[in-house]
Amino acid sequence: MLILSFFLIHWFGSLFFQSFFLHRYGAHGMFKLNKTWERIFYVCTYIFQGSSFLNPGAYAVMHRLHHSFSDTKQDPHSPIFFKTAFGMMMRTKDYYIALIEDKMKFGEKYIKNTPSWEVFDRFSNKWGHRILWGIAYTLFYYFFAEHWWMFLLLPVHFLMGPIHGAIVNWAGHKYGYQNFKDTDDHSRNTLFVDFLALGELFQNNHHKYPNRPNFAVRFFEFDPVYPVILLFNKMKILSLNHSLKQSL
């Protein structure tokens, strides 16, 4: 029971901060955060992604490239050029490493208003720290796993962030239906597995309206992160961009 709870908390916690902080805030600027809250969410994202923490600045630039060049050769992760999701992940990894080395070579316009925290970025990107997270997950399993096969879940913990990225980018541009046929890419809404992805799999809606905080469009679609954004807005933790409020 403890292992299952740990797995679910890690899966959905990591996914929530990837969607809320890295994607909707860092890459799209759907809402504003003051410096204190930005740093609190920066650290929360680090804690929940742990060994596979994705640098918020690098993530934002990579994601903006995905929107600008969706499903073309310059897209960092389009499934249409790969036979397997693993092949696509390897290409994404190359982009990510190149971005960590030098974001500027992808063009200054992609860097504008992306989150950065130099000291923390240097600390969180160290291999030693990633390995320590991995050891912590393994120790948790060592003490609490009741069956040997539970250890098979460990690789998912090690690579949580990239696995979420691969599911969203692979399925969201390959399987499902389209509400909008005029998005110039292969994006789709993968409704039946979206409960595993917290709204991120409404890719077709999102490519049509990239800055809209609610990824759901039709009455039967539900984006679970959106009510949290509204709640945080009410609590004055964040402020939704005024121009975006019109399109809600």
**Applying CB under 5 A, which part among 115-123, 140-148, 199-207, 239-247 lies near Zn ion?**
199-207
> Rounded to 10 degrees, what is the CA torsion of 75, 197, 165, 47?
140
Residue with nearest beta carbon to Zn ion: 203
| Inter-residue contact 240 to 31 (CB < 8 Å) | yes
Cα–Cα distance measured from residue 18 to residue 9, given in angstroms and rounded to the nearest whole number:
14
Beta carbon of residue 209, minimum distance to Zn ion (angstroms, whole number):
10
Beta carbon of residue 172, minimum distance to Zn ion (angstroms, whole number):
6
Site for Zn ion in 168-187 (CB under 5 A): none
Beta carbon of residue 103, minimum distance to Zn ion (angstroms, whole number):
18
The residue length of the chain stands at: 248
- Does the protein bind Zn ion through residue 92 (CB under 5 A)? no
- Nearest Cα to Cα of residue 174 among 195, 196, 197, 203: 203
**Applying CB under 5 A, which part among 119-127, 137-145, 195-203, 224-232 lies near Zn ion?**
195-203
**Applying CB under 5 A, which part among 81-89, 148-156, 201-209, 235-243 lies near Zn ion?**
201-209
- Does the protein bind Zn ion through residue 203 (CB under 5 A)? yes
Of the pair 50, 199, the CB lying nearest Zn ion is at 199
Of the pair 95, 133, the CB lying nearest Zn ion is at 95
Q: Quick check: helix, strand or coil at residue 132?
A: helix
Classify residue 158 by burial, with Cβ atoms within 10 Å: 0-12, 13-18, 19+: middle
Q: DSSP string of 21-49?
A: IIIIIIIT--EE--HHHHHHHHHHHHHHH
SS3 for 133-150, per residue? HHHHHHHHHHHHCCCHHH
Q: Which amino acid is at 104?
A: M
**Applying CB under 5 A, which part among 112-120, 157-165, 198-206, 237-245 lies near Zn ion?**
198-206
Beta carbon of residue 165, minimum distance to Zn ion (angstroms, whole number):
10
- Does the protein bind Zn ion through residue 204 (CB under 5 A)? no
Beta carbon of residue 24, minimum distance to Zn ion (angstroms, whole number):
8
Q: Please give the residue ranges that form the binding site for Zn ion (CB under 5 A).
A: 203
